[in-house]
Amino acid sequence: MARDKVIIKNHGKIADKIIAMEEVYKSLKDEDFVNKTAEFRERLKNGESLDDILVEAFAVVREAASRVLGLKAYRVQLIGAIILHQGDIAEMRTGEGKTLTGLFPAYLNALTGEGVHVVTVNEYLSQRDSEINGRVYSLLGLTVGLNGRSLNKDEKRNAYAQDITYTTNAELGFDYLRDNMVYQYSQKVQKKLNYAIIDEADSILIDEARTPLIISGGSQNRINLYKAADTFSKSISRENDIEIDLEFKQVYLTETGIDKAQKYFSLDNLFDVKNTELFHLIMNALKANFTFKKEVEYTVQDGEVVLIDQFTGRVMPGRAYSDGLHQAIQAKENVNIEEETITLATITYQNFYRLYNKLSGMTGTAKTEEEEFLKIYNTRVICCPTNKPIIRKDEPDLTFGTKNAKLKKLVTDLKELNEQGRPVLIGTTSVESSEQVARYLEKAGLKFEVINAKNHHREAEIVEKAGQFKSITLATNMAGRGTDIKLSDETRKLGGLFVMGVERNEARRIDNQLRGRSGRQGDPGTSRFYVSMEDELMVRFSAPKLRQMFLKLGDDHIESKLLTRAITNAQKKLEGLNFDQRKNVLDYDNILSQQREAMYAQRDSILLQDDLKNVISRFQYTVAYETVQNNSELVRGESLINISQLLNSLNGNLIASNSLSEKDLNGLEKQQIAKILQEKMMENYLEKTKDVPSNVISELERRTIIQAFDKHWTKHINLSQKLRSGIYLQQYAQNNPLHEYVEESARLFNRMKILIAQDTIDNLNESFIRSIDQSDIQQPQEKKVIDITDKDINDILTEWKVEKENFSRPTVEKRFKELEVEFKDNAQLLERTRFQFFILDGLMNKLDEIYNSQNQKMMNLSQEELDSLLKKFDLFEKKFTKEDIKNKTEKMLLDKTDEEKNAIMIEAQVLFAIADKLQQETKDFVVKDKEGKIKKVIKVKDDGSIDPDEIHDTEQVQTKTKIG
């Protein structure tokens, strides 16, 4: 692989060519820039590549930026732009003009028309950069969109439709997940993921790489259990009942702690399988109370727990800990406890950004993580030279025995610098630490500004003034990224910005980020870290004996390059461990990621197909084959199909009753039987849906399939998470946990696909109430006439245990199916039952004929007679449904003679016909399940089209977003 120096040298030659064209484009009129863009697009259509037009395109952008912003890109910025275009990470020091650098590759790649996403860490930077650079793009004839959390779907779709879209990393990921939960392809907001330029790439791709974006839905109410677990956690002794591992933020119950828990919750054994859920809640409550600190990991605002970004100190509204930990913290802080939800869709930043065709990024500090960028994202980290040499002085660390000694020295040094007039930036690792430092500064009578989670809205304003005479700014380490600290002439002469680090971080990169706030564009500056043996990093990775030795120093300190190197080496070791951990997790993530991509591709395919009968046909075959398998038994090592049992399980359900006999299937292979069954299923389904308009049935099919996809994919996600949490136990059986996870996950995935098919076919079949018999499909045959008396009917109903008043087609058909199952092993009784059903079915058909005949006569009623009838049923001048008529009829039939009942039933049939007519006029299609509950209401417009937003769907899950 080429070294950075070679790459920079080659890119430098291209940059020189771009600068050489300056005189050519100076003569362009403002209106000519749009023409140049059109020319570049035409050349791309004619077969030229982006690399072919790079020099000219960059030269045009350089001139446009100069005219609009008054900024002429330096040679090093052009080198950075070329690095970004080639899909790598450009490490550019603070103040080197990353915002301007990003203009060039964004313009060049937008010429293809496939979209460019410029990603920032917060909405302030997105808006600022889109407004500044948008003026340049406007001159060049490109459109710019700004995506944000508060936008509705149409506004988001419009933002993504532009040539270049500015967005935050979280919103980009959530939009991707939401797009893969829509029921119409046109409801998606994003175009394809073509090219992304990530600002502060190390923060997004490394620090937040494992952060899962989660869309959740449904609810699980365990509020009382959370409160009980929290009360228990507050009642135990920190010294005797628990052991705390600060390094991994874990809490363990001791023997006495376990005894107390069992007594508190009245349990015999806390570790019994049935107490798993309660144990999990107790462990979360212990973690919340003993390892998570208010104003460090989270804060409370307006009665709500809001997480704090551990790297920037910014609050993160909308984010939540997963697995019930967030609810445990809410219980601890005595605020409203949210109901737990299940994960419907999730993806980590790491997996999301790997979906792009081309990925690039820019940051001030990434070289130390180059191995991770290369192995995970396939991007190199290339260090850009600075425009002017760095003259900042990085002093060795001062190491103290205690925090108090450290902060006293920091205040002493700060007073000296303040008297000289030098601006100072103090970097802390947490909000708690910054507040501790603030108390020392207040006691010393020093005036200062604070940037932390509580006033992050003033961040940019405070950072801009941090380089002024006598200014003191206290900030969490990486706060203010994206805004340069500019010195005045006076402070430049005094030695520039002095950066003080209150303690070292886990990663060298974050320390370098803090140092990089000083010494931009050749400015003078100084940096120094103040370290105590009580700092978190030192407590975790230094020996207790060493810490005891340092206590002897009192308020004195040691300034040693050797000790500074030792801390740096510890950081390198920790970075390696963290990378190995992230890489190990990624190996597992890759399995779910591949399955997700396959599922989303199939989902899109279903959304794009006009006719879904082929999909349904494949699902029917899957169901048929599984049914054949389930009705097979192993006899002497050979799998034999129980044909009789198979037909009984399907008759009148997925295929029409009596449409197949045993002789039709005897002697056939499983695949052949499954194919015949599938064809009969399709016949049955087409007969059931023949009276429904094609666009309505198409919408119903699409929704039913998609909902089955989403339901079982959600279950698969949650099953995979549980599988992964316990798979490490396989190593005790000398098995490779990753290999076992791959095998089991693949098995679960294949099983999920079968369940999707079964769910889809069952739901579509149950969505239509009327039962289909083979006579509906085949040509009607001449029927024999049999004389049946009232006594025969009464005897059958008595034998079937059906009450006379409950005699109806649904009741009879339901009872018939039950008796078929009951007598499946008794051929004689089964044949008798089928004959009895034939008799009852004939009677019901005759009654239907009588009602229809009477209805025909009643339909000729005059308006006055119709009004009279409506008044009789108390429905006059009211909008009514069949359900309303049914309820009124049941009340009117009470205490009536048989003759009166017959008259009322005929009148009710007239009203049922009117209700049908009214429903057709409003063009509402109601879909019910087998129990008669409404599942969906599909409204059809006057022109026959369907508005997806007008569909009432009880199976559509309400969702919310969170960042785990």
Structure-block tokens of residue 280 = 């999990």
Whose CA is closest to 907, among 884, 874, 883, 873? Answer: 873
Q: What's the CA dihedral at 310, 311, 312, 313 to 10 degrees?
A: 20
Q: Do the strands 959-963 and 212-220 form a parallel or antiparallel pair, or are they unpaired?
A: antiparallel
Is 932 flagged in the annotation as binding? Answer: no
Residue 214 exposed, middle or buried by CB count within 10 Å (0-12, 13-18, 19+): buried
Residue 846 exposed, middle or buried by CB count within 10 Å (0-12, 13-18, 19+): exposed
Is 99 flagged in the annotation as binding? Answer: yes
DSSP reduced 3-state for 602 = helix
Is 30 flagged in the annotation as binding? Answer: no
Fill in the DSSP letter of residue 184: S
**The one-letter amino acid at 862:** S
> Which H or E run includes 580?
helix 561-608
Under 8 Å between Cβ of 682 and 621: no
Under 8 Å between Cβ of 174 and 151: no
| First-residue to last-residue Cα distance in the chain | 37
Beta partners for residue 398, in sequence order: 530, 559
CA distances from 17 to 22, 103, 406 (A): 9, 18, 53
> Which H or E run includes 215?
strand 212-220
**CA angle in degrees (0–180, nearest 5) for 563-567-570:** 140
Structure-block tokens of residue 562 = 């050797």
Strand 340-348's sheet: what is its strand order?
340-348, 212-220, 959-963
The CA distance from 221 to 226, in Å, is: 10
Is 98 flagged in the annotation as binding? Answer: yes
Is 95 flagged in the annotation as binding? Answer: yes
Count the neighbouring beta carbons within 10 Å of the beta carbon of residue 281.
22
**The one-letter amino acid at 157:** R
Fill in the DSSP letter of residue 684: H
Whose CA is closest to 203, among 480, 11, 456? Answer: 480
Is 484 flagged in the annotation as binding? Answer: yes
Residues 6+ apart with CB under 8 A from 359: 87, 195, 196, 198, 353, 377, 379
CA distances from 260 to 241, 263, 279, 900 (A): 8, 5, 13, 73
The string of DSSP codes covering 126-180 is HHHHHHHHHHHHHHHT--EEE--TT--HHHHHHHHHSSEEEEEHHHHHHHHHHHT
The CA distance from 110 to 603, in Å, is: 28
Strand locations in 609-760, DSSP E? Answer: 632-635, 638-641
Q: Name the region of 483 (left: φ>0; alpha: ψ -120 to 50; beta: rest).
A: beta
CA distances from 208 to 119, 351, 535, 581 (A): 14, 12, 23, 14
**Angle of the 790-800 helix axis to the 827-858 helix axis, nearest 10:** 120
DSSP reduced 3-state for 210 = coil
CA distances from 231 to 279, 331, 839 (A): 14, 9, 68
SS3 content of the chain, % helix, strand, coil (to 5): 55, 15, 30
The CA distance from 750 to 747, in Å, is: 5
Query: What residue numbers does the annotated binding site for ATP cover?
Result: 77, 95-99, 484
Per the annotation, binding residues are 77, 95-99, 484
